[in-house]
Structure 1
Amino acid sequence: MIDRELYMQQIIPFIDQPFVKVIAGIRRCGKSVVLQLIREELMKRGVDKKHIIYMNFESFEWMDVKNAKALYIHISNVVKSAKEKYYILLDEIQEVEHWEKAVNSFMVDWDVDIYVTGSNSRMLSSELSTYLAGRYVDFHIMTLSFREYLDFHGLSLFQDKIGIHEEFRKYLRMGGFPAIHTADYTYEAIYKIVYDIYSSVILRDTVQRHGIRNVELLERIVKFVFDNIGNRLNAKNIADYFKNQQRKVDINTIYNYLSALEGAFIIQRVQRYDIKGKELLQTNEKYFVSDLSLIYSVMGYKDRLIAGALENVVYWEMKRRGYKVYIGKQDDKEVDFVALRREEKIYVQVTYQLASQATIDREFTPLLAINDHYPKYVVSMDEIWQDNIEGVRHKHISEFLLNENWQD
């Protein structure tokens, strides 16, 4: 079991604090492991394991606990006469109807510390805001980062550059779902495992959760988004695509389907940010996928998607580190990412290779035009080109991902 240290560092300060800890993310990203790590941390602190209640609602063991009343009755039978604190860990809580009512009652009635996981952000946020507004904190668990991938495989972070670069190429092809790193699977086997995860997410967290009837349309929208990873995209683009295919699709339906896919953590919408005006823009956003292996499992591996795939990896690494990430607009030019975290800011351009002067100019010029002191990076897979230009740093993507402090 890999130690998801990044997430535990975020969660541990909230242990024994009067907030429900909400741990969300796409199915099979490692939420259950985080709950196990929390349980281990509690026992290290001297909590009696009898005072830790763990329920996984995907297990047949809890088949009869499918609504708030049944959940409340089960928990009350354990804690109602207790004088000491109890810790309640509820895995895949969205399987319990009106669960938020039970959780609210737990906090009112007993001395408890509550942790829940879920696989649908829309469901969690809407239900929590109704009953637990101001009394919960949420944590987004993602698939393995490149650093976690190396840890998972017992590989040194300090091996030679050639070795690190080779491991990154493997990571780029395999993706970060923990389950595929538990054995020496072929790429074909990996994509089959991930396709099963994808199918479960589409069915349970998208189609069933939102009552979607036209599954064929939903999956065509998924493929269109996957095929345009890293490109500017909106509902109108998708509607125009279907129009060219002699098929009329209502733009509101597309918006609803995109929202459902985002709620299930399959995709993430990223807004544009006017660097000079320091304001968010409402058009030409981009979408990224929660793990690249989802694309490969649905559409096969495609070399032509490499630029978008690299942007995808960089985007999620910045999100893991707590940055708010946007697509930058600098006059008539685009900066791939503007990332903000409290008083910190970084600008990042991502490209596959710096193979020509035209490419070098395209990547460096927008950053050189930004007149501030914040760090600026061009990130690529180029193993030869090493130059920095007027304070704009070039990094191989593997080195950028493993650099713990981008502000240096």
Structure 2
Amino acid sequence: MVSKTVLKQILASNQKDIERYNIVSRELPSDDFPRRVFIGVRRAGKSFMLYQKMQQMLSCGHGWDEMLYLNFEDDRLTGFTNDDFEQILECHAEMYGRRPMLFLDEVQNVEGWEKFARRMADAKYDIWITGSNAKMLSSEIMSTLGGRYLSTEVYPYSFLEFLGVKGIVADENSLLGTEPRAQMLRAYSEYLQWGGLPESVGLSVKRDYLTSTFQKIYLGDIVSRNKISNPNILRLLLKKLAESVKQPVSYNRLSSILSSVSGKISMPTVSKYIEYCESAWLLLRLRNVSAPFADKEMSCKYYFVDNGVLNLFLINGETSLLENLVALSLFRKYGHDHDNERVFFYNDNVEVDFYVPEDGLAIQASYSISHSDVTYGREVEALKKLPKVLTCRRRIILTYDESDIVTDEFGTIEVKPLWKWLLE
């Protein structure tokens, strides 16, 4: 139980902190639906989106008597339980005498939070919630919330947001100039290598920050939360998945590889560890659109939620980083729920890196196709064959900096730099 005196002190100090934050504006939900759950990996900027909303309300003439904000990773809230939720409403009522809009940050740290969230929805409160655990949206919890909330996935900065934070204008006219174009390309190289976690953008040396962030996700959100007794096996699994980012990998193969270096590791253990990483939003799964059901679940491709985190595991990993960035951009656009039935890869005699059925979009990711006839043939021929089995309205090969147009009986295949596609 946290005392009312402490809760009131926390509420008051949070208000001053939020007013002082220099927020980089991101796209908030455009509709007026009053109850939201923002989910995503740690430090992707979920809290900043709550701050942005509160600052917008303040700038429009609303006051703190209309808003209540708590961060449940605040060490002053140690010991906060589901029973204390009612106390925060009582504290706000005693301080202001008004009904507030609720902003609850990292609420998954409180066991049973979803019961309070449902009760507040039934009472017609406006409420925005953030959480880093994908299990917040498990079928059981969403059943408890009963359709009362909409979920919004929050990813690290897109390339356009990344450029905006750096003050780089990347419209068509600006990029005609030599220096603006060079500035944009330097930012592109940085973004490809080190990703877009918001707090890392302004750092000249990013590796220490990214290592710290990974350790917090790895040790806090995965090892500690799931009581993993041998974290070294999990680290080896993540290293192998990072090295395998470009190709499908099965539970059976992972189990065999890990068993060869760490003693017997069962397939169920591998499956469970990957699920833990997905729940923490560290890994994002991609399924084969052409595979039967069992293979869809057992042999998938896995991507990391940020290029900077992936880069911690790689040496000379430019091709893996490029493909990982394409995956993140597609997930950001089309969404990535637990089943992810919107973005796939295709692997049946030929392999296509990404396929989006609703748009008939097929994408190959290759750092370069101009320096190898083998690479050129592999990437182009797969896209030439795919329209014979799946609807393809647009086919693209994304490279680091190459452009071309390939024509065939089904139309054109665009070869273009990744940065151009990211700015579309």
Aligned residue in 2 for 1:313? 325
The 1:34–1:211 alpha-carbon spacing in structure 2 relative to 1, beyond 3 Å, is same
The 1:376–1:82 alpha-carbon spacing in structure 2 relative to 1, beyond 3 Å, is same
Whether 1:380 and 2:402 are equivalent positions in the alignment is no
Aligned residue in 1 for 2:102? 88
Tell me if the contact between 2:362 and 2:392 (Cα under 8 Å) persists in the aligned partners: no
The 1:196–1:165 alpha-carbon spacing in structure 2 relative to 1, beyond 3 Å, is same
| 1:168 aligned partner, one-letter code | Y
Tell me if the contact between 1:262 and 1:268 (Cα under 8 Å) persists in the aligned partners: yes
Q: 2: CA distance between counterparts of 1:278 and 1:111?
A: 41
The 1:133–1:181 alpha-carbon spacing in structure 2 relative to 1, beyond 3 Å, is same
Q: 2:186 aligns with which of 144, 166, 176?
A: 166
Q: Secondary structure of 1:321's partner? A: helix
Q: 1:339 aligns with which of 333, 339, 356?
A: 356
Q: 2: CA distance between counterparts of 1:203 and 1:123?
A: 19
The 1:107–1:281 alpha-carbon spacing in structure 2 relative to 1, beyond 3 Å, is closer
Q: Secondary structure of 2:229's partner? A: coil
The 1:353–1:127 alpha-carbon spacing in structure 2 relative to 1, beyond 3 Å, is same
Aligned residue in 2 for 1:13? 31
Q: 1:37-52, aligned counterparts within 5 Å?
A: 37-43=52-58, 46-52=61-67
Unpaired runs of 5+ in structure 2?
1-22, 336-341
Q: 1: CA distance between counterparts of 2:47 and 2:262?
A: 45
Query: Once the 2 structures are TM-superposed, how far is the Cα of residue 245 of structure 1 from its aligned partner?
Result: 2.7
Aligned residue in 2 for 1:406? none
Tell me if the contact between 1:68 and 1:100 (Cα under 8 Å) persists in the aligned partners: no
Query: Once the 2 structures are TM-superposed, how far is the Cα of residue 310 of structure 1 from its aligned partner?
Result: 0.9
Q: 1:202-217, aligned counterparts within 5 Å?
A: 202-217=218-233
Q: 1:3-402, aligned counterparts within 5 Å?
A: 3-5=25-27, 8=28, 11-16=29-34, 20-43=35-58, 46-64=61-79, 66-79=80-93, 85-108=99-122, 110-125=123-138, 128-157=141-170, 158-160=174-176, 161-183=181-203, 185-186=204-205, 190-245=206-261, 247-274=263-290, 281-297=296-312, 299=313, 301-303=314-316, 305-322=317-334, 324-329=342-347, 331-340=348-357, 343-354=358-369, 355-369=371-385, 370-371=387-388, 372=391, 374-383=393-402, 385-390=403-408, 391-402=412-423
| 2:138 aligned partner, one-letter code | S
- What root-mean-square deviation, in Å, do the aligned CA atoms of Structure 1 and Structure 2 show? 2.5
Query: Once the 2 structures are TM-superposed, how far is the Cα of residue 55 of structure 1 from its aligned partner?
Result: 0.6
- The more displaced of 72-81 and 45-54 is 72-81
Query: Once the 2 structures are TM-superposed, how far is the Cα of residue 386 of structure 1 from its aligned partner?
Result: 2.6
| 1:107 aligned partner, one-letter code | A
Tell me if the contact between 1:119 and 1:265 (Cα under 8 Å) persists in the aligned partners: yes
Q: 1: CA distance between counterparts of 2:202 and 2:182?
A: 24
Q: 2: CA distance between counterparts of 1:212 and 1:12?
A: 40
Query: C-alpha offsets along residues 83-107 of structure 1, whole Å, 9 cap, x if unaligned?
Result: 9652100001012121112222222
The 1:246–1:50 alpha-carbon spacing in structure 2 relative to 1, beyond 3 Å, is closer
Query: Once the 2 structures are TM-superposed, how far is the Cα of residue 61 of structure 1 from its aligned partner?
Result: 4.0
Q: 1: CA distance between counterparts of 2:305 and 2:107?
A: 21
Query: C-alpha offsets along residues 233-282 of structure 1, whole Å, 9 cap, x if unaligned?
Result: 1211111102333621111111100000110011111101129x999934
- The more displaced of 258-267 and 349-358 is 349-358
Percent same amino acid at aligned positions?
24
Q: 2: CA distance between counterparts of 1:230 and 1:86?
A: 48
Query: C-alpha offsets along residues 97-150 of structure 1, whole Å, 9 cap, x if unaligned?
Result: 211122222223x34111110011024435622421221211110111111111
Q: Secondary structure of 1:112's partner? A: coil
Give TM-score scaled by structure 2 length.
Answer: 0.83
Q: 2: CA distance between counterparts of 1:318 and 1:151?
A: 20
Q: 1: CA distance between counterparts of 2:125 and 2:61?
A: 16
Tell me if the contact between 1:54 and 1:88 (Cα under 8 Å) persists in the aligned partners: yes
| 1:402 aligned partner, one-letter code | L
Tell me if the contact between 1:164 and 1:398 (Cα under 8 Å) persists in the aligned partners: no
Q: 1: CA distance between counterparts of 2:140 and 2:294?
A: 30
Q: 2: CA distance between counterparts of 1:212 and 1:271?
A: 26
Query: Once the 2 structures are TM-superposed, how far is the Cα of residue 334 of structure 1 from its aligned partner?
Result: 0.8
| 1:374 aligned partner, one-letter code | R
Q: 2: CA distance between counterparts of 1:107 and 1:170?
A: 43
Query: Once the 2 structures are TM-superposed, how far is the Cα of residue 179 of structure 1 from its aligned partner?
Result: 1.0
Q: 2: CA distance between counterparts of 1:375 and 1:382?
A: 20
